[in-house]
Amino acid sequence: MTIDVLGEPYTVETIELSDDFEGTVVATLVKRDADGDAKGAVLYVHGFSDYFFQKEYAEWWTARGYDFYALDLRKYGRSLLEHQSGTYIGDLYEYFDEIDAAWERITERDGHSHIMLSAHSTGGLTVSLWAHDRQPDALAGMVLNSPWLDLQGSFLLRELATPVVRRIGHRVPMRELGRDVSGFYTMSLHVDHDGEWEFDLGLKPVGSYPIRLGWLKAIRDGHARLHRGLDVKAPVLVLSSDRSSKPKAMGDIVHTTDIVLDVRQIRRWSTAIGRHVTYVAVPGAKHDVILSRPDVRKQAYAEIERWLAAYGV
């Protein structure tokens, strides 16, 4: 392992994966050791057009005795190679290879038997599918931050659009879907714009990455599987904002609502993940709850602390 771009004490290692249609594929595992003796571990998975840079979140866990690991999935962040189409995947189940590899390192190599899974947005959908499929004995619980559990928009739009996406996405998976991205969300986060966080705008760009139809088909297939009901046996905490909005300009509402996903869908589908699901709406939170304003994320951390105590995990 080598020192990560976040600096000491963060280390990083590359996970070699099987080639795909574009060539060489890798994932990246970042680690920060617990403060003192470790009583468990956390594995974090990011969302779409994202990568791991949330040091405050990592250090919240390490201060409580957890080794913290974060996985940059293939074609994201530290794992994105020059020849690749950033963020593209044709099937969410392909991500299971790197999650399996990270899990093996955490359990077999590093000896952890008490592991929390944590994920944001699209990552929340992916790890839910993985935990259902793999049923790992070492999984102690999951903390999901605004998981993407359904397509935004009206019921009619979803019903009409999904068959078209599946048909065209199968035929021409790399075709880009035209969309208008305001950039408000990333600007609300980055220190050079209207936020407080430092991250690489080349890896998490203001204008996001393109959405390709094959990728959207993979997402909708994942949604459909979740909607049929998963069986994650470990306790699950789902956090989101208390409301969503579609702002037309930068302003306070960008900082105090989810402007990416519909929180009503998160609330509706959370219980499809498993047997013991706790849902908490955090007033004034952003899409990435742990990147909200200080008073809001303080409440979010308190909710995680309360849930950990309640379930003894």
Q: Which residue has the higher pLDDT, 169 or 250?
A: 250
Examine residue 210 and state whether it is found in any structural domain, yes or no.
Answer: no
Q: What are the Cα distances from residue 301, in Å, to 10, 163, 181, 227, 294?
A: 22, 39, 30, 28, 10
157 pLDDT exceeds 70?
Answer: no
CATH number of the domain at 280, please: 3.40.50.1820
Examine residue 103 and state whether it is found in any structural domain, yes or no.
Answer: yes
156 pLDDT exceeds 90?
Answer: no
Q: Tens digit of pLDDT for each residue in 203-232?
A: 999 989 999 999 999 999 999 999 999 999
Q: Tens digit of pLDDT for each residue in 25-69?
A: 999 999 999 999 999 999 999 999 999 999 999 999 999 999 999
Q: How confident is the model at residue 251 (pLDDT cuts 50, 70, 90)?
A: very high
What's the total number of domains in the chain?
A: 1
Among 154-158, 192-196, 231-235, 240-244, whose mean pLDDT is lowest?
154-158
How high is the pLDDT of residue 155?
58
Examine residue 168 and state whether it is found in any structural domain, yes or no.
Answer: no
Examine residue 176 and state whether it is found in any structural domain, yes or no.
Answer: no
Q: How confident is the model at residue 131 (pLDDT cuts 50, 70, 90)?
A: very high
Helix residue ranges per DSSP H, the chain: 55-62, 96-104, 122-134, 155-171, 184-189, 213-227, 252-256, 263-269, 294-311
> Rounded to two decimals, what is the model's pTM?
0.95
